[in-house]
Each structure stands twice: as C-alpha cells, then as structure tokens.
Chain A
Amino acid sequence: MGKNRKKVQIIVLLFAFVIGGYAIFQTFTNDTPGTIKEGQAVPDFRLANLQGEPISLQDYNGSPLVINFWGTFCEPCIREMPSFERQYEEWKDKGVEVVAINLSEDTLTVSNYVKKLGVTYTILRDVDRKTEKKYGLRSYPTTFFVNPNGTLSSVFVGEMKESQIHEHIEKIVGG
C-alpha cells in the first residue's frame, strides 16, 4: 500500500495543479473576451484591396505593420488619414507598412474617398464586419501597431495626432 499511496498522491496533486492552474491562469488572460493583448499574435485576415487582389496578414511577415480601421462615416478616421499618409512616406524606406481596413462599406464609397484623400498606402475591404469583430473593435478609429514578428505592440483607440503615430511606429521599428 505504501508505494501505491505515494503514486496516487502525486497523480492526484499533479492533476489538481495542472487543471486548477490552467483555470486560474485563464482568469488573468480572459478578462475581456475578444480583445487582443499586447504580445499576442494579431488575428489573421485575407481581404481584397482596391484593385481586387487578395492581401493577407502573412504578406507582411517581417515588416513593422500599422493596421488602421476606418470608415467614410467616421469623421475622426478621415481626419487622421493625411497624418498616416505623411508618416507612411517618412517610414516606408525602413520597411514600415500601413494597412487601412475599411469597415465593410461598398466599392463606390470607398474608392471615391480614397481618391479624394489621395492616400498611397494599402486600403483593404472588410466583409460583413468579420475582421473588425475578430479584432474586437469597440469604437472607430482604432489602430493596431504590430511588431515584425506579427505580435501586437500597442493599440490606440481614437483619432491620432501625427506625433503620436510617429512615437508608436518608432517602437515597432525598434522592436
């Protein structure tokens, strides 16, 4: 009985430790479901650009990436776009990519606005708000700064000033 008893003890306590540990660990990571934490990989996507070609997250593997969600109905989104354009011009030689995902609006609306704003970075088109939901968006605009290895560096909710965009990009280029 002596030997067996030790075995049972170790197995039961190990089970309690592993299952219990997992459950307790979950409470620290899962407090707001749907949102992405810094250091986690950002959700994958494969969406059409304005030319109708598929662009996916993997295409930016190894590059510091800025993902900005915008809609033509969102005035602060439109206001910050010229700042993103200038920052893109400033950083693109260092490999920084900017992707602006439109909030599931239709073709005419998006292309007219992009023409009017004259932005040169990549515009992608979300479908049925799926990507937006995967990214756990709560309000617009929201911008994700992604490290070259595909993990999240930081999130900014609301309109960004050019200096703020600059600071956030510096971090993903450095890291």
Chain B
Amino acid sequence: MTKEIPNQKSEWRGRVKPLRHSCFVILSSFVLLNSSFCPAQQPAPVPAKKPATDGKVWGALVYATTDAAKLTGSTEKAPENQKDLSGRLGKVFTPYTHFEIIGQHFQDVFREYESWVVPSRDLFLKIDSKGPAAGGGMNLHLQVWREQQVLVKTDAVLHPGSPLFIGGPKWRDGQLLFVLDLQRK
C-alpha cells in the first residue's frame, strides 16, 4: 500500500488559481468603472439636428395711444427695416399718434413644427407654415392667442415688406397691436 504524496507544485497552482481569478474580476471592474466615469472616453454627443425652416418673421406687440405721457417706458427699438413703423401704423390706427414697441420676436418659421411668436406672455401668435407662395411669399396659418384664449384663426399669404397689422384689445387709454412681417431671405 503506498501513500500518495501530495505534489507541492500542483497544490501551489491550486491556491494561486482562485487568486488570479479574483485579480481578474477586480481589474475588470476597475476598467469598467474607469471607462464609465471618464468623460474623455465617452463618444462625442450627436449634435441636435436643426429643423428645416421656410423663412423668418418679425413679430412685435405695440401699444398705441394718443397721449405720450401714457407710454409704458419700454426701451424696445424697431429693427432697421421697420424704421417707419410708427408712421405706417398711424395711417391705419387713428386717432392714435404714439406707437411704442412693448416686445419683439424674430422667429424662424419651422417647416414641420408649429412656430410661436411671443413678444409678450399676454398676446402672442402661433404660426404653421403651409409652404412657399408665388412671388416670394409664404402661406401661413396664423392663430392669435391672448393667454389661453384664441382670438382669431386665419390663413394668410405674407410677403416681405408687406406687414400684417392686427388690431387687438383695448388697454388703458389705447390699444394693443400686433405686427407681423416676413423677413427677406
């Protein structure tokens, strides 16, 4: 009967094998954690795709009054291509003599989404593009909103340089007006 002598080399291997396995697990975890938290190894963010547009509009909320002393003190200035705005408004909205821009908004008209022209939270406009019109114009569906109440829905064809003046509600001793102008491309 012979007694089997344990092989020291195989015993050493048997003890080292689990240790190597543990090292592998720890190392793998470290690599994984490191790669998860290291921003330099993250893929570059995909830039947001800019939505297609059919044009650009300028919208403004204007306060019309006969008394200069009643103006709100707004510092808004008309853009360069609207320098004669007060004169043009005065030809339509009589007897008002003073026209003050309260707020203004340059807005791209999105081709597939609705566009909002919000020169003020009190009176603003929703625009849906219906595509280009003959002669460089644009077919639009417009909605004028006063807070959460739609005042009017309209289909319009706008042309650059031929603004739409909307006579809105009375306010104080004057009237609120909305101006919408299609910008030249």
Co-complex (A, B) = no
Q: Which residues of A contact B (CB under 8 A)?
A: none
